[in-house]
């Protein structure tokens, strides 16, 4: 597992999500659109809504989701040109120059995290705001959130708040059976 999670001593970026705190305000979605120039009608992140129960015993939950930056990303495996790739720090990205827009990766992603960008005519996805991360900042979605739903950090940093949170609170990942080793941790 360690190997899949990158190189020891080097960072492995990931997000933990405390969905209980999500108020479905959409700040993360709009911040992402601004930060990354996402075209109209397309989104790199979303909030899954679930409503249930019967009146007056109702319930509703809201769960932000985006690319899981899996440790074994199927999108990278199916890419015929090598455009989809993973960095040592775990971020799954697309070389726009090498993407032929075949859409295999869109199908291969178990999380519906990719889309075809009609403006650039290549596949697009959450980059974890790699340009910000490389400059020592957190992704725009995490930064803007009124209720601090997302916790961004380095899984390898034993002193970091992400490691601390995941070691001290129960969490789960989605669709573990895919073998993708997703790295978007939902706190319970």
Partner 1 sequence: MSRGVTRRRVLAGAAAAAATAALAPQLGCAPPARRRRAATPTEVRRVASACELCPNKCAVLAVVENGRVKKLDPNPLSPKSRGMLCARGNAAIKALYDPDRVKQPLIRAGARGEGKWRPVSWDEALDFTAERLHRIKEAHGPEAVLFSSTEGFQEEFFKNLGLAFGSPNILRHPTLCLASVNLAYSMTFGTVPSFDLLNARYVIMSGANRFESIITPDTMDLIEGAMNRKAKLVYLDPRFTVTAAKADEWYPIRPGTDLAFILALIHVIIEEQRYDKEFVATRCLGFDELAAHVQRYTPAWAAAETDIPAAAIVRIAREFADAAPRAVYYAGRRSSWYVNDFQMRRGQAILNAIVGNWDREGGVVPNSRIALGELLFLPWDDPTAERVDEIGTRFPLAAKGDGAFLQARENVLAGVPYPVKGWLVYKQDPMNALPDRGRTQRMIEAMDLVAVIDTQMSDTAHFADVVLPESMYLERTDPLHMLPGIWPVVVLRQQVVPPIYDTKPNLEIIQGLAKRLGLSEYFDYTIEEWIAEQAAELPVENPLEYLKQHGVYAPEGAPFYGKTLAPGYRFLTRSGKIELYSPRLAEVGHDPLPVYRPPTPIPAGSFRMVLGRKATHTHAATTNNVWLIEQTPTNHLWLHPEPAARLGIGDGDLVEVVSAVGAVRLPARVTPEIRPDCVFMLHGFGKKSPQLRLAHGNGACDADVLVTAWDAVSGNAAFHETVVTVRKVGKEDRRA
Closest CB to partner 1 among residues 43, 87: 43
Q: Which stretch, 8-16, 137-145, 162-170, 176-184, contacts partner 1 (CB under 8 A)?
A: 137-145
3-state secondary structure of 16: strand
Piece in contact with partner 1 (CB under 8 A), picked from 48-56, 150-158, 161-169, 176-184: 48-56
Closest approach of partner 1 to the CB of residue 107, in Å? 6
Min dist. Cβ of residue 31 to partner 1 (A): 5
Q: For residues 3 and 5, what is the distance between their CA atoms, to the nearest angstrom?
A: 5
Give, for 151, the enclosing helix (H) or strand (E): strand 150-154
By CB under 8 A, tell whether 116 contacts partner 1: yes
Q: Does 120 bind partner 1 (CB under 8 A)?
A: yes
Residue count at the site for partner 1 (CB under 8 A)?
54
Minimum CB separation of residue 129 from partner 1 in Å reads: 10
Distance CA 110, CA 172 (A): 16
Separation CA 82–CA 99 (nearest Å)? 8
Three-state DSSP at 187 gives strand
What is the C-alpha separation between 152 and 170, in angstroms, rounded?
17
In this structure, are residues 174 and 181 in contact, taking their beta carbons and an 8 Å threshold?
no
Contacting residues for 32 by C-beta, under 8 A, at least 6 apart: 38, 43, 44, 45, 66, 126, 140, 141
List the one residue from 2, 10, 82, 101 that touches partner 1 (CB under 8 A): 101
Which residues contact partner 1 by CB under 8 A?
18, 20-21, 23-27, 29-31, 33-35, 39-42, 51, 53-56, 58-62, 80, 96-97, 99-104, 106-107, 112, 115-118, 120-122, 140, 143-148
């Amino acid at each position: 597992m360690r190997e899949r999670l990158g190189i020891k001593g080097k960072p492995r970026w990931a997000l933990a999500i405390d969905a209980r705190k999500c108020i479905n305000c959409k700040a993360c979605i709009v911040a992402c659109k601004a930060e990354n120039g996402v075209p109209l009608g397309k989104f790199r992140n979303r909030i899954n809504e679930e409503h249930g129960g019967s009146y007056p015993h109702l319930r509703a939950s809201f769960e932000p989701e985006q690319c899981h930056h899996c440790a074994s990303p199927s999108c990278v495996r199916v890419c015929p040109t090598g455009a989809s790739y993973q960095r040592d720090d775990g971020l799954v990205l697309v070389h726009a120059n090498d993407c032929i827009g075949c859409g295999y990766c869109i199908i291969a992603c178990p999380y519906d995290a990719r889309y075809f960008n009609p403006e650039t005519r290549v596949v697009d996805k959450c980059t974890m705001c790699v340009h910000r991360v490389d400059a020592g900042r957190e992704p725009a979605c995490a930064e803007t959130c009124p209720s601090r739903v997302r916790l961004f950090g380095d899984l390898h940093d034993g002193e970091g708040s992400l490691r601390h949170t995941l070691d001290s609170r129960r969490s789960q990942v989605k669709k573990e059976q895919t073998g993708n080793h997703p790295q978007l941790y939902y706190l319970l």
